[in-house]
A and B are shown apart, each in its own frame.
Chain A
Amino acid sequence: MSVLELTDITGGYGETEILHSVSMRVDEKEIVVIIGPNGAGKSTAMKAVFGLLNLTAGTVRLNDKDITHLAPEQVVRKGVCYVPQVGNVFPNLSVEENLEMGAYVRTDDFGPRIQEMYELFPDLRTKRSEAAGALSGGQRQMVAMAKALMLDPKILLLDEPTAGLSPKYRGEIFRVVRDINSIGVAILMVEQNAKQALNIADRGYILVDGQNRMDDTGPALLSNPEVGEMFLGGGTDKAA
C-alpha cells in the first residue's frame, strides 16, 4: 500500500507553473529517490506534498487520505516530516532545543526519543548545548534529520541531504538514511549524487522539465544506459 501518493500534480510558485502533471508514490518502508537535471522541479515536487505550492491540479494522498490542501503544520501532524535543503535547522537554538522544536506537536514525554536520536547520531550528543548554526554542514544536516525524526514520522522527505558535504559526510548521511529506513520509516529524497542515492533506493523517479521521464527500481535505473549517460557518467562521483 502506498504511504504517499502524488497524482497528476500541476502547479508552481505564484503564476509560474513548474510541475506538469507529475505523479509518484512511496510505498511502505521504501526508499524512493527523485533525480533529474537542475530546474527539473525535484524540490518543487517535494514542496507540493507540504502545501507550500500553488497547485492548479492533482491530489496528494497520505495513507489514502487527501491532504492536498492542508497547511504545513497540519501535514506534520499527519506524520510527514520534511527536511528542506537549506535553512533546515534553527541556527540560534542549541542542538537539543532544535530537537525539542521537532517534537513541538508532541504532548507526551519525548525525552527518551531525544536519547534515541543521540544514539542514532552520536556526534550530536557532545554538541547538544551548542548553537546549531555553529556546527559543520554535515552535523547541521544530522541535526535537521534528527529534528524531523522526533515525531516518529511515517514518511520522511529529504531535499538534497548531501548537497555541499564532503565525501566522508556524504557516506555517513546515506548510512543514516538506510538506518532510518530500516526502523520502518519510508523515505522520499531528492538527490544530486544520483549513483549513491540509487544504490540505496528501492525505486527512483527521473524528472525532466517538470514532467515524469522515467521510473523504475533502483538497480534497474543504475544499469539503464540512458540514465547512465544523463546523470551517472563522467566519473564525477568518485565517492560512490
Chain B
Amino acid sequence: MIDLLNFHIIPGLVLGSIYALGAIGVSLVFGILRFANFAHGDTMTLGTYITYTFIHLTPLYGIVALPLALLIAVPAAMIATGLIVLIIDRLFYRPFRNSPVIIVVIASFGMMLMIRSSIEMIWGPQLKAMITGIQPPWFFFDTIRVLPKHVAILIAALVLMGIIHYLLSHTKIGKAMRAMADSPDLARVTGIDTERVVKATWMIGTALAVAAGVFLALDGQMKPLMGFSVLLAVFASAILGGIGRPYGAMAGGLVIGVAEELSTYPWIGDGPLLSPGYKAGVSFAIMVAMLIWRPNGLFKGKVF
C-alpha cells in the first residue's frame, strides 16, 4: 500500500501541479482571448531553456547554491519569456483579434512550431539536465519516501496558485481579467482597457508556464519537445476544470496528474494496470469523455 503513496500518489500530485500551472495559463488565455493557445506547451519549453541559460551560462550558479539560483533565475526567465510572448502577441495574434477564432488558433499552431524550431536552433536538439547528480530521498515515519525536489515543486506550485488566487480576487487587474472573461463587450463599454488586460493575461499565463516547464525539467529531462509532450495533458486539465476557469484548471491538473500515475499501479495482478508508455492516453481518454458528457467541465456554473 505504501508503494501506492510513494510511487504513484506523490509523483501524481507533482505531475498534477505541473499540469495545473500550465492549465491555468491555457484557461486564462481561453477565457480572455477566446482561443485555444497551441503554443502554450512550447512557451513552457522556451521559459525552461531561458532559465537554464540564466543558471548555467551566467556566473550565478557558481556564486549561490542551486535552490537560490533557481529562485533568482526563474522570475527573471518569467519576465524575459513574458516579454517575448508579448511581442509574439503584438505581431502574430493581435492582427487577428476581430477575425474568426480558427485563424488565431492556427496562428498559435504556427507559433508553436516556430518556437520549437528556434529552441532547437539556439540550444540544440539534445537532452539537457537542469540539475545533475542524484538526490537521496527524505523518509518520513520510515516508510513515506519523498524526493526533496518533489517537496519543493509542490510547495512552489501551491505558492504560485495562492498568488494567482490573490491576483484574481483582490487586485484591480485581476478583477478586470475576470470581467473580460465574463463579457468582453461589456468590459469595453465599461471603460476597461482591454488591451492592458490582454497583456496582463499573457504575462501571468507565461509566468506560470515557465514555472511549470522548470518543474518538469527538474522532475525529468529538458528537451525541445518537453512542453509539447505535456500539452495534451494540460489541455485535458483545462477542459476537465471547465475551460476558461482558472480554479477549475488547478483541480483539473491535479486530477489528471494523479489519474495518470494511478493508471500504472498494479491494481489487478502483478503488472501495472496500464503500461507506463500509455500514460498519456489516460488524459486523452478523460478529455474525450469530458467533451462528450460534461463539455462545461466538472464545476458547472461557478467560474472563478
Contacts and interface: CB of A to CB of B under 8 A. Distances in A.
Interface of A: 50, 52, 71-73, 76-77, 82, 84, 87-93, 97, 100-102, 104-105, 147, 151
Contacts of A50: 189
Nearest to B181: A92
Main SS at interface, chain B? helix
B120 interface: no
B190 interface: yes
B304 to A, nearest CB: 6
Given A87-B185, A92-B304, A73 B192 contact: yes
B147 interface: no
Contacts of A91: 182-183
Nearest to A133: B182
B186 interface: yes
- The listed residue with most A CB atoms (<10 A of its CB), out of B178, B189, B194, B304, is B189
18 contacts: A73-B192, A76-B190, A76-B191, A82-B189, A84-B189, A90-B183, A90-B187, A92-B181, A92-B182, A92-B303, A92-B304, A93-B178, A97-B175, A101-B176, A101-B187, A101-B192, A102-B190, A104-B172
A211 B142 CA distance: 84
Nearest to A103: B191
A81 B116 CA distance: 46
Given A73-B194, A92-B304, A104-B172, A87 B186 contact: yes
Given A90-B183, A101-B187, 20 more contacts: A50-B189, A72-B189, A76-B189, A76-B190, A76-B191, A77-B191, A82-B189, A89-B186, A90-B182, A91-B182, A92-B178, A92-B181, A93-B175, A93-B182, A97-B179, A100-B172, A101-B175, A101-B176, A147-B190, A151-B191
Given A93-B175, A100-B172, A104-B176, A84 B186 contact: yes
B188 A73 contact: yes
Contacts of B188: 71-73
Interface of B: 172, 175-176, 178-179, 181-183, 185-194, 302-304
Contact of A104 (B182, B183, B185, B192): B192
A101 B193 CA distance: 11
Nearest to A83: B189
Given A93-B178, A100-B175, A101-B175, A88 B194 contact: no
A73 B191 contact: yes
A50 B189 CA distance: 8
Contacts of B187: 90, 101
From B185, B192, B193, residue with most partner A Cβ within 10 Å: B192
Contacts of A105: 191
B141 to A, nearest CB: 43
Nearest to A132: B182
B164 to A, nearest CB: 16
Contact of A87 (B176, B178, B183, B191): B183
A89 B303 CA distance: 15
A158 to B, nearest CB: 13
Nearest to B245: A92
Given A73-B194, A101-B176, A104-B191, A88 B182 contact: no
A73 B193 contact: yes
A88 B183 CA distance: 9
Contacts of A89: 186
Given A100-B172, A104-B172, A90 B179 contact: yes
A54 B113 CA distance: 38
A101 B190 contact: yes
Contacts of B193: 73, 104
Contacts of A101: 175-176, 179, 187, 190, 192
A102 B178 CA distance: 14
A90 B178 contact: yes
Contacts of B185: 84, 87
A93 B175 CA distance: 8
A76 B190 CA distance: 7
B42 to A, nearest CB: 30
Contacts of B175: 93, 97, 100-101
Lowest 7 A-B CB distances belong to which pairs? Answer: A76-B191, A90-B182, A92-B303, A105-B191, A72-B188, A90-B179, A72-B189
A199 B303 CA distance: 41
A99 to B, nearest CB: 11
